[in-house]
């Protein structure tokens, strides 16, 4: 065994060379691989010494002491988004992805033992076993877990490197014009007409509408305060939570929505501020499946069987952009925290502006 200034190398009985060096704590560490020549082993030691001096050295054994399954379980209990715990529905989705797709195939592997090729094989397996949505969710979760492992200095790089695999590929939703919106409102039952109008003019999500209270509506100011949502949790039923991060907001409603809500409350005769703003006809709890059932009937009746209830929000936000709202203003009305989502509606406004230019030219010709 030949001695060096930093570390040592020796020739093994196989003819290959082994490199050893002192770790930061003084313990002797062995290179993760052997080398074909003494020079290559020496070059490895030189690179380790340089990295230690620069403070960029990574302990190759760090990720071998814990399995992916163990780390993921701890990660799930500690995960926050902008300082807030995971939403119950998000937590359910993560648990399902872990239990169904990640732990059974990769859970027993140590963090440091999972490489890019392993992730590619795993991703192809998941795609073959389930749909693209579940595969996307599982991949995005695995990537997030490894991002944290990189921050914890357990692995040097994230092995999840499949471009676009964790990004949703949502097709562009159809744009619903005002005539169709009003036809849909007319087709909904009486107790859901104002509900449907607010979804369009107030850009509220379904869960946010279900979470509204009488006191959230200020008829004098024409505003609606959105600060909670109702979500359905598997095995538990409805649960009231805060809305999505950055979605607490006060929305100024256009006159049609103010009038509809005022008439809705006058008909109900409800004045308690903490009472639900929308209920079933008998006053019982209104839940998402009630709305979906009525919506399915209404959209079929007006000849648009593929419309989603969420398309009302999309249409209302597009109208706000077409009315001249800036990206920041659309974000505030929608409760968006990123400009990427708001830019979808700005893009629609630009397309409409092009159509208007064509119409102006044709009218001038006539």
What residues are paired with 28 via a beta bridge? 22
* Residue 4 pLDDT exceeds 60: no
CA distance 338 to 329: 12
What is d(CA 93, CA 168) in angstroms, rounded to the nearest whole number? 15
Mind telling me the catalytic residues? 205, 310, 313, 336, 345
Which tens digits make up the pLDDT trace of 306-357? 999 999 998 888 888 888 777 788 888 888 767 666 666 656 655 555 555 6
Three-class SS state of 179: helix
Distance of CA 2 to the CA centre of its chain: 55
| pLDDT of 238 | 87
Give the lowest-confidence range in 107-116, 149-158, 317-326.
317-326
Which has the minimum average pLDDT: 148-157, 219-228, 297-306? 148-157
pLDDT of residue 329: 80
Give me the half-sphere count of Cα atoms (radius 13 Å) on the Cβ side of residue 338.
4
218-232 pLDDT, tens digit per residue, is 999 999 999 999 988
pLDDT at 284 over 50: yes
Q: Is the pLDDT of residue 260 over 90?
A: yes
Helices 132-151 and 68-78: angle between axes, nearest 10 degrees? 90
Of 233, 286, 259, 299, which is closest to residue 89 (Cα–Cα)? 233
Residue pair 159/146 in contact (Cβ under 8 Å)? The answer is yes
What H or E segment, with its residue span, contains residue 22?
Answer: strand 17-22
Alpha carbon 36 to chain centroid distance? 47
Is residue 2 within 8 A of residue 9, CB to CB? The reply is: yes
Distance CA 140, CA 302 (A): 38
Which of 319, 219, 314, 326 lies closest to 265, judged by CA?
Answer: 219
Q: What is the pLDDT of residue 80?
A: 85
Rounded to whole angstroms, the Cα distance separating 205 from 249 reads 12
For position 353, what pLDDT does the model report? 55
Question: CB pairs under 8 A, 24+ apart, for 148-155?
Answer: 148/75, 149/63, 149/71, 149/111, 153/58, 153/59, 153/62, 154/62, 154/63, 154/66, 154/71, 154/111, 154/112, 155/62, 155/63, 155/111, 155/112
In this structure, how many other beta carbons lie within 10 angstroms of the beta carbon of residue 73?
14
Instruction: Give the 3-state secondary structure of 166-214.
Output: CCCCCCCCCCCCHHHHHHHHHHCCHHHHHHHHHHHHCCCCHHHHHCCEH
Helix (H/G/I), strand (E/B), else coil: 17? strand
For 235-245, what is each residue's pLDDT tens digit? 778 888 888 87
Residue 1: pLDDT band with limits 50, 70, 90: very low
For residues 48-62, give the mean pLDDT: 79
Asked whether the predicted pLDDT for residue 233 surpasses 80, the reply is no
Average pLDDT, the chain: 87
How far apart CA 168 and CA 366 sit, in angstroms, is: 46
User: Worst-scoring range by mean pLDDT, 112-116, 126-130, 361-365?
Assistant: 361-365
Q: What is the pLDDT of residue 216?
A: 96
Mean pLDDT calculated for residue range 97-123: 94
pTM over 0.85: no
Kindly list the distances between the CA atom of residue 23 and the CA atoms of 2, 26, 33, 61, in Å, as whole numbers in the listed order.
Answer: 19, 5, 16, 11
Nearest to 41 by CA among 63, 19, 23, 22: 19
């Amino acid at each position: 065994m030949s001695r060096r200034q930093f570390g040592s190398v020796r020739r093994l009985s196989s003819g290959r060379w082994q490199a050893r060096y002192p770790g930061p704590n003084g313990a002797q560490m062995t290179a993760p691989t052997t080398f074909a020549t003494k020079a290559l082993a020496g070059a490895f030691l030189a690179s380790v010494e340089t990295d230690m001096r620069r403070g960029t050295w990574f302990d190759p054994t760090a990720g071998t002491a814990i399995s992916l399954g163990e780390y993921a379980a701890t990660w799930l209990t500690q995960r926050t988004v902008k300082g807030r715990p995971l939403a119950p529905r998000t937590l359910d989705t993560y648990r399902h992805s872990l239990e169904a797709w990640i732990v059974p195939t990769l859970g027993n592997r140590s963090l440091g033992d999972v490489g890019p090729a392993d992730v590619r094989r795993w991703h192809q397996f998941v795609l073959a076993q389930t749909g693209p949505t579940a595969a996307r969710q599982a991949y995005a979760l695995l990537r997030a877990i490894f991002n944290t492992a990189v921050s914890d200095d357990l692995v040097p790089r994230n092995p999840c490197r499949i471009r676009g695999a964790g990004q949703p590929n949502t097709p562009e939703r159809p744009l619903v014009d005002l005539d169709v919106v009003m036809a849909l409102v007319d087709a909904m039952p009486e107790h859901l007409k104002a509900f449907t109008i607010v979804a369009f003019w107030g850009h509220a999500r379904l869960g946010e509408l279900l979470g509204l209270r009488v006191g959230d509506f200020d008829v004098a100011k024409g505003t609606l305060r959105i600060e909670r949502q109702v979500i359905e949790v598997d095995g538990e039923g409805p649960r009231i939570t805060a809305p999505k991060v950055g979605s607490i907001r006060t929305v100024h409603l256009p006159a049609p929505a103010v009038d509809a809500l005022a008439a809705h409350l006058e008909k109900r005769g409800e004045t308690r501020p903490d009472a639900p703003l929308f209920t079933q006809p008998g006053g019982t709890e209104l839940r998402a499946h009630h709305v979906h059932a009525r919506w399915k009937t209404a959209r079929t009746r007006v000849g648009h069987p593929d419309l989603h209830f969420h398309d009302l929000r999309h249409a209302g936000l597009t109208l706000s952009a077409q009315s001249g709202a800036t990206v920041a203003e659309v974000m505030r009305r929608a409760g968006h925290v990123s400009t990427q989502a708001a830019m979808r509606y700005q893009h629609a406004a630009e397309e409409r502006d092009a159509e208007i230019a064509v119409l102006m030219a044709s009218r001038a010709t006539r």
